[in-house]
Copies of this chain bind each other. A is one copy, B any other.
Amino acid sequence: MEYITSLLRDKGFKVTPQRLAIYKVLARTKAHPSAEMIFNELQPLYPTMSLATVYKTIEILKEIGLLQVLNVGEDSFRYDANVENHPHIRCMVCNRVDDLDNIETAGFADSVAKLTSYRITGQQFYFYGICPACQKKNDK
């Protein structure tokens, strides 16, 4: 948490309560919230904050490497303060998005580079399915 403060300053951005609050929401959760989810969560504490501020802050956090952007096939983007490369899985019923740690995905980039002559800069692995909770609901 002190990290974001000095990182913002180092990169020439000002440290504001809004920016800290938005990052704190992301850092605390594993729910991979969208901009609107972040906005809603902050409403009680920061009733005057606008969605535009959320988007502008996300842009900065992405730029300084404090979050990564996810595209799980919804209309909106989701954000993850865990910037390490790891796969994600979305429940197509309740739309929750979970991390998949413990899945080995390194090594792909090299073979892709050899196969295509692309210079690889990133990767995202997404899985889709039905989460345990939604499976139970449907069984009833």
- Report the bound CA distance from A119 to B111 in whole Å: 29
Scan A97-129; emit 1 where CB is below 8 A from any B CB, else 0.
Answer: 010101100001101110111111111111111
Is the Cβ of A125 less than 8 Å from the Cβ of B128? Answer: no
The residue from B116, B122, B128 contacting A123, defined by CB atoms under 8 A apart: B128
Residue of B nearest to A133 (CB): B117
Is the Cβ of B125 less than 8 Å from the Cβ of A130? Answer: no
Scan A44-86; emit 1 where CB is below 8 A from any B CB, else 0.
Answer: 0000000000000000000000000101110000000000000
Q: Does A91 have its Cβ within 8 Å of any Cβ on chain B?
A: yes
Q: Does A4 have its Cβ within 8 Å of any Cβ on chain B?
A: no
Report whether over half of chain A's contact residues are helix, strand or loop; otherwise say mixed.
mixed
The bracket for how many chain A residues form the interface is: 35 or more
Q: Does A92 have its Cβ within 8 Å of any Cβ on chain B?
A: yes
The residue from B72, B89, B117, B118 contacting A118, defined by CB atoms under 8 A apart: B89
Q: Which A residues are within 8 Å of any B CB, using their own CB?
A: 69, 71-73, 87, 89, 91-92, 98, 100, 102-103, 108-109, 111-113, 115-132, 135
